[in-house]
Amino acid sequence: MTRQTWTAAVSALLFVLAAAVVAMTPVPYVTYAPGQTYDLLGSANGRPIVEVDGLDVYRDPGGILLTTVNITRPDVPVGLPELLYAHGVPDREVFPREFVYPGRSTAGEIQARESQELTTSRADASAAALRAAKIEVTQIPMVQSVNASGPAANKLIPGDFVLAVDGVDTPTTESVRAAVEDRAVGAPVTFTILRDRIVSAVTVETTGSKTQARVPVWGGTLGMGYSYDPRVTINVDQGVAGSSAGLMMALAVYDLITPGGIVGARVVAGTGAIDGGGTVHEVGGVRQKLAGAQNAGAEIFFVPAENCVDLATATTSVRVVSVRTLQDAINALIALGNPATESQVEGCS
């Protein structure tokens, strides 16, 4: 082997090794790709995904698709080849890891946050749907989370409604907080709660706040929950959906409890967070969800009006409909079912 041949061989080997190192070196980014869709009017593990007890239920032959995004998990590295591929494919996007997972969140912290988001989203979607159907819904302070090492651990659980503290009615989260903070640190506090439609009393010994030792706390967080007579169960697993599933979950509940339905035989998809009053809020991953909806054969895709800018350059065969409220989506489905009013439904322009 000549010296030139030897040099060329070594150079080629070094190049291959360098390329392999670069390819395997993780980069501080995450990728978004189209995820699976789930028909909320369908079944999973032998039971309907959305169940409503206490009301007549009407099941349409069509589908309401919950759309998802495949996002790189915080403990999964992204290599340069994957990053370059995501940059070159229209239905994929790349974001700095810190943007998606701020504060170096651990997998456990992210899982806990996603679980809380899904719990809140289910409650908000159910309340919005029932209100749209003119069914009475009452707001009550509700336990959102419980510190595993706090005084309320194994006593209160997320989803408990707090009706009173030490016998005094507490109609707001502020009134609950004020009642607890009116006690001395270490003093017992009795919560009157509603759990699984049963009223009971739970006593918790307060402890000092980590930030203000003289302020008593019970070891959890509160939000406003919703109480109503029907029982709504949405069997969507954590990790599949979060707050962005709210609009479609609300549509599914509303469709089930509406005589004649609003979906019919159509396949409808979409995304959007929703609050208990029915207002739809912007979400992320809209391009990927639209691509997933098209792949699943959806005819209509609902998107929050604030997200229309994200679809400015998107090409799709699905009819995109922008909405600001649950009622907008309901009205659009009704209008799209009538050739005389179909053209009046707004898209993203």
Provide block-wise average pLDDT over 10 residues at a time, the chain (349 residues).
52 42 56 90 91 94 93 69 64 74 68 76 94 95 91 93 96 96 95 94 95 93 91 83 90 94 94 95 94 96 96 91 97 94 89
Parallel, antiparallel, or unpaired for β 300-304 and 267-270?
parallel
Distance between CA 141 and CA 137 in Å, rounded? 13
> Given this model, what pLDDT does residue 238 score?
67
Q: How many Cβ atoms from other residues are within 10 Å of residue 158's Cβ?
A: 17
Q: Does 29-102+115-134+230-344 match 138-227 in CATH topology?
A: no
> Given this model, what pLDDT does residue 184 score?
94
> Given this model, what pLDDT does residue 160 score?
94
> Given this model, what pLDDT does residue 78 score?
65
> Given this model, what pLDDT does residue 12 score?
45
Query: Hunting for tokens 């991953």 — which residue is that?
Result: 285
Closest by CA to 274, choosing from 74, 112, 125, is 125
Could you tell me the pTM of the whole model? 0.80
> Given this model, what pLDDT does residue 321 score?
97
Closest by CA to 257, choosing from 279, 236, 231, 288, is 231
Class of 29-102+115-134+230-344 in CATH: alpha beta
Cβ(313)–Cβ(322) below 8 Å: no
Distance between CA 306 and CA 247 in Å, rounded? 14
231 beta partners: 53
For every residue of 113-174, DSSP letters joined together read HHHHHHHHHHHHHHHHHHHHTT---EEEEEEEEE-TTSTTTTTS-TT-EEEEETTEE--SHH
* The CATH number of domain 138-227 is 3.40.50.150: no
* Domain boundaries of the chain, sorted by first residue: 29-102+115-134+230-344, 138-227
